[in-house]
Amino acid sequence: MRVGFIGIGNMGSPMAGHIVQGGHTVTVYDSDAEKVSRFASTNGCRGSSTLADLSDSEVVITMLPDGHVVRSVMRGEGGLAQHLKPGTLFIDMSSSDPVGTRTLGGELAALGIVMLDGPVSGAVPRAITGKLAIMIGGDDKAAIERAKPIFSLMGDRLFETGGLGSAHAMKSLNNYIAAATFAASAEALLIGQRFGLDPKTMFDIINVSTGRSFVSEMVMKEHVITGKFSTGFTVGLLAKDVGIAADLGEAMNLDAPVLRLVRERWALARDRLGAARDNAEAVKSWDEDLKTF
């Protein structure tokens, strides 16, 4: 199958690599021409300098920072949608706004392009091993079945979540829970330190007790307490995902005070540290007197 892959950053690069290894004819595009050249050379595939070069793709996948960038790539000036043939399958694997996804999907449908949303969970390590969890949203069941062999090259757990936009909604809500858990864990760590508790002992106990979570076992234990801070996911991206979840809650007319507070906390971390810093470093922003890490 001819696959166009747009966005070959930390996540997109290994994901596109698995599709190449799966025997598909892949053309990659990224705003960073050096990344394109390096990826094409390493993986033995075609690199593109313009979006129009992806016009012969049967499937186009985006792995981009947010839905605004996805819309620009597809519908902006010189956007890809005008070059694609009717029947092309477009899959947005970015963490995008679910309402915006439905709007874009409707516009693309008018051009004969079928859209699915397929955001992922598992971060860079599982992108590298091809063991991501992939959420799949779409209104066309045949298109979903058509996409599954490609999804299976990148992930080992595929979940159909419902109609178009539902996967992006699920991704944002999952990341909201992770962000809330991190914020609570970080506050517990900071309070415990001030009282004189040892951080390692704290999380040894938490990880065999009712406070245990992915955050406590992996992020706090492996990245915060060690000072490693290299989860591969930035503060800015997590703040963005929590913002998407908060916007969704408001669109559903649900009073969600915890969600609003978590959005504020991550926005504060982003503004104090800078969007490009590792998300595990958020703990530094919430205690300006912090000296340990």
Q: Where are the alpha helices (DSSP H) in 116-234?
A: 123-129, 141-154, 166-195, 199-206, 214
Contact yes or no for 147/59 (Cβ under 8 A) = yes
Of the candidates 35, 171, 221, 240, the residue annotated as catalytic is: 171
State both tokens at 281.
Answer: 């470093």
Q: What is the pLDDT of residue 287?
A: 87
Q: Does domain 2-163 have CATH number 3.40.50.720?
A: yes
- Classify burial at 141, counting beta carbons within 10 Å of its beta carbon; exposed 0-12, middle 13-18, buried 19 or more: exposed
Q: What is the pLDDT of residue 74?
A: 98
Q: What is the pLDDT of residue 289?
A: 58
The two domains 2-163 and 169-285 share their CATH topology (first three levels equal):
no
The residue extents of the domains of the chain are: 2-163, 169-285
Residue with tokens 């706004």: 97
Q: Does domain 169-285 have CATH number 1.10.1040.10?
A: yes
Q: What is the pTM of this model?
A: 0.94
Residues of the chain with pLDDT under 50: none
- Provide the strand spans (E) within 2-101: 2-6, 25-29, 46-48, 59-62, 89-92
Establish whether 171 is a catalytic residue: yes
